[in-house]
Amino acid sequence: EPEVTQTPSHQVTQMGQEVILRCVPISNHLYFYWYRQILGQKVEFLVSFYNNEISEKSEIFDDQFSVERPDGSNFTLKIRSTKLEDSAMYFCASSVAGPFQYFGAGTRLSVL
């Protein structure tokens, strides 16, 4: 069964460093998303991406965050200068149409 793949599974970084989280969405999907889940809290929407541009973003997705689809298969989330409060599980999701969003296993980001 097709699945969303995320790498790495765990990323440890120093505060202030840049990180790039990578995702390979399901191949025929057109909509791509990033969500995050801080430990013990609910899953929160960050950004959605369609037709090579951001279609929607939340208040969390500030200038420190950016997304890119560098080629036909990858979808990345970059955090330019990480803060302690960026520590969370980051989930990539993809869908053919809006409602049916399939999630990856996540990347655990630990900012020290």
Partner 1 sequence: TQLLEQSPQFLSIQEGENLTVYCNSSSVFSSLQWYRQEPGEGPVLLVTVVTGGEVKKLKRLTFQFGDARKDSSLHITAAQPGDTGLYLCAGRETSGSRLTFGEGTQLTVNP
Q: Which residues bind partner 1 (CB under 8 A)?
A: 4, 6, 31, 33, 35, 42-45, 48, 55-56, 58, 91, 95, 98-106, 108
Integer Cα distance of 25 and 28 in angstroms: 8
Question: For residue 85, what are the CA distances in angstroms to 38, 99, 105?
Answer: 9, 29, 21
Among 76, 56, 74, 58, CA closest to 66: 76
Q: Among residues 7 and 55, whose Cβ is nearest to partner 1?
A: 55
Least CB distance to partner 1 at residue 16 (A): 27
> Would you say 8 or 16 has its CB closer to partner 1?
8
Task: Name which of 86 and 104 has its Cβ closer to partner 1.
Answer: 104
